[in-house]
Structure 1
């Protein structure tokens, strides 16, 4: 259970950052996926102006790379 508590604390910080991004851009729904070299996000503004993006690194995530619009 200790591992969950530690992860939960980190995820709360992520959740607060996500809330700020949603408020700044008027987003009602935001999903983010990160796994083995690929990062993707999907966002919605109440069904209007939906956006999605992806970025991938050849050997892992590229935190310096930009997202490409899908």
Structure 2
């Protein structure tokens, strides 16, 4: 996973946890703006989320944060 994507995921998950608590859920779309201005990063996130880890559409932000921190 590219460092820029890793940093973005950690930042977004941390912010959502801080704002809404540890049970807040996220999808991989949470890491991107509504317009498709970073298609390569979006596909990398989708591949990591769907193909590599077979995660549900929504997962706990804390779980995703931990996975990225652990280098999964």
- Check whether TM > 0.5: no
* Structure number with higher strand proportion: 1
TM-score by length of 2: 0.34
Structure ID, larger Rg: 1
More helix by share: 2
Structure-1-length-normalised TM-score: 0.35
Which gives a bigger RCO, structure 1 or 2 (Cα 8 Å, sep 6+)?
A: 2
